[in-house]
Structure 1
Amino acid sequence: MWRLVLSALSLAFYAWLAHWLMVNAPDSPWALAWLLGPPLVMAAGLAAARRRWRTLALSGSALAALGWLMAKGGLGDVQRLYVLQHALINGAIGTVFAATLRAGRVPMITSVALKVHGGQMQAAKFPYTRRVTEAWVAYFFGVVLLSLLLYGFANWAVWSAFANFVTPLLAGALLVGEWRLRYWLHPEFERVPISVAIRAFREPGGAVSQR
């Protein structure tokens, strides 16, 4: 539990400082580093843990490019870069989730549930976890659409607040809301802590402990 609290506090601090920099110093190289650096480091760490060498090489190259831009003093007007980064990340994750819905593939949330339950799962969970995967696809592409609309029709501070605060809060609301709805619709499903599902999604390999 303490890990979830620490992660939530870290994300809140990251979001607050990213928003402050993007509103007050969007052209600063430090704003660029703070916005892009941590996600690239996390991507590199996950790629190394899962032995995805191409992804690791791409992440390392992107970090090197970011260091070069920092040394040159940034990019000047980088608002479009921030919007593009936000849209590409959410669009890419949504595309990965959507790809698992194709015929012959295992939906993303189904595969996570199978890891949690050691490869065995109640029959009713297969259509349910497919619908949850579809909900996450709708979330990611909905975020992309709202991001572009706000950039086009609202001021920069509103877009920054949406990208840094509203987006992760919506993701958290969907995660917790689905968890509560699951046991209301299917009280027969065994109870699994949210932290276990998050760990199953994050960690490579087979079944995960439910402790």
Structure 2
Amino acid sequence: MSMWPVLRAVGAGLLAVAWAIASYFNSASGQASGWGAALALAPLSLVVGLGLWRMRPRWLAAGLTLGLVGLLALLWPLLSQRIAVLYFLEHMGVYSLLAVFFARTLVGPGESLVTQMARRVHGGVLSENQQRYTRQVTLAWSVFFAGMVVVSVGLFLWAPLPAWSAFATLLGGPLIAVMFVGEVLVRRRVLPDEARASLKETVQAWRVQRSEDEQ
């Protein structure tokens, strides 16, 4: 068995932890910093860069890249002066998109997001209890991400900056992990006799669903 996937996962995890710690001290200080602005924009820049890399035709991707670089250079003096605001907008934007990503599948006659993922994992066959439960899980994740946005806004407006920074940069990942583990424990009680998906199967289903939504 190749160790490369394990090493890659460990490396990505360590990089994420290092980014979170550096981002906490960077955003909590409230001081202007060009390096701080670059650190704050790094995740978004990576996502946008990957999207542009996959875009066709190439001339359009190149044009958009030049335009974004030019806009970034124009706004850089302002961005480097508003580090905390930059982190806040990025944090609120990510969790707002996640809330919409889950909640939009609860509207209309189609299946919810978690139901679609579960159907992939279980070969297209779900019991009535599984369909009802996975829809409830989709709602739970929607409320969770929306709650993260509400708490983030409240802390940013009324709490000391270090308190908001700790929530936004250090607690996001652990809270998602707690939510995920809690859902697994609840599922074992609610659906004790149903076939269970492994973590690997769940991650694969999530990747397939995300790639389809990006097309």
TM-score, normalization by structure 1: 0.80
Task: Give the 5 Å matches for 1:30-109.
Answer: 30-45=35-50, 60=65, 62=68, 65-66=71-72, 69-70=75-76, 72=77, 74-109=79-114
Give the structure 2 partner of residue 119 of structure 1.
124
Give the structure 1 partner of residue 202 of structure 2.
197
| Bigger RCO of structures 1 and 2 (CA < 8 A, at least 6 apart) | 2
Determine the C-alpha separation between the residues in 2 that align with 1:87 and 1:46: 21
Give the structure 2 partner of residue 208 of structure 1.
none
Give the structure 1 partner of residue 149 of structure 2.
144
Residue 146 of structure 1 deviates from its aligned partner by: 0.4
8 Å Cα contact 1:16/1:164 also seen in 2 = yes
Give the structure 2 partner of residue 159 of structure 1.
164
8 Å Cα contact 2:29/2:162 also seen in 1 = no
Bigger Cα Rg:
2
| 2:34 aligned with 1:29 | yes
8 Å Cα contact 1:44/1:59 also seen in 2 = no
Structure with greater helix percent: 2
Determine the C-alpha separation between the residues in 1 that align with 2:15 and 2:145: 22
Give the structure 1 partner of residue 16 of structure 2.
11
Paired residues, number: 201
CA offset digits 1:128-186 (Å, max 9, x no partner): 11000001111111011101111122111111110011122111111121122211221
Residue 4 of structure 1 deviates from its aligned partner by: 4.5
8 Å Cα contact 2:37/2:86 also seen in 1 = no
Identity of aligned residues (%): 27
CA offset digits 1:113-132 (Å, max 9, x no partner): 12222322233211111000
8 Å Cα contact 2:36/2:83 also seen in 1 = no
Structural RMSD (CA): 2.9
Give the structure 2 partner of residue 209 of structure 1.
none
8 Å Cα contact 2:112/2:134 also seen in 1 = yes
Query: Aligned in 2, Cα 1:49/1:188: closer, same or farther, shift over 3 Å?
Result: farther
Determine the C-alpha separation between the residues in 2 that align with 1:67 and 1:202: 33
